[in-house]
Copies of this chain bind each other. A is one copy, B any other.
Amino acid sequence: MSCDRALREKGYRLTPQRMLVIEALHNANGHISAEEIYEQLHARYSYSNISTVYRTLELMKKLNLVTETDFSEGRVRYHVAEKGRHHHLVCRTCGRIIDLDESIINPLKDTLLQDYDFEADLRHLAISGECHDCYKEG
């Protein structure tokens, strides 16, 4: 759906650069890096700069339009917020990734809200650890 409109409605300008960043995010099926977004932007609009990509992503994070997730691969990845509310378990040994429904975090969120009056932002986590097979061997 329309990230474009969300930006406009909040009073932000809809530049060609921003439109292309949004398009790249929507076309990516799954998680895309800033560098990959920039490649697509630059291919169609050569007077552009990766700092614009970072600034656009920063803005979209602030507006809850994208989530940022660190899979411990040296760069973070982005994902349209509404396209899938989920988390990941990342095995530090074999790299295997297990997907998780968002609801698994709800009890923790509820506890933090009730006991600490804290509204935790826990969308799209990548939780590091060890999967069953690797744990057995280690």
Residues of A bordering B, CB below 8 Å: 89, 91-92, 98, 100, 104-105, 107-108, 111-112, 116-122, 127-132, 135
Contacts and interface: CB of A to CB of B under 8 A. Distances in A.
Nearest to A70: B70
A130 B117 CA distance: 9
B129 A119 contact: yes
Nearest to A120: B129
Contacts of A105: 108
A130 B104 contact: no
A129 B135 contact: no
Task: Give me the 10 closest cross-chain CB pairs, A-B, nearest first.
Answer: A117-B132, A120-B129, A121-B129, A119-B130, A89-B118, A119-B135, A121-B128, A119-B129, A108-B108, A120-B127
A122 B89 CA distance: 11
A117 B129 CA distance: 11
26 contacts: A89-B112, A89-B116, A89-B120, A91-B118, A92-B121, A98-B116, A105-B108, A107-B107, A107-B108, A107-B111, A108-B108, A112-B127, A117-B131, A117-B132, A118-B127, A118-B130, A118-B132, A119-B130, A119-B135, A120-B127, A120-B128, A121-B127, A121-B128, A121-B129, A121-B130, A122-B127
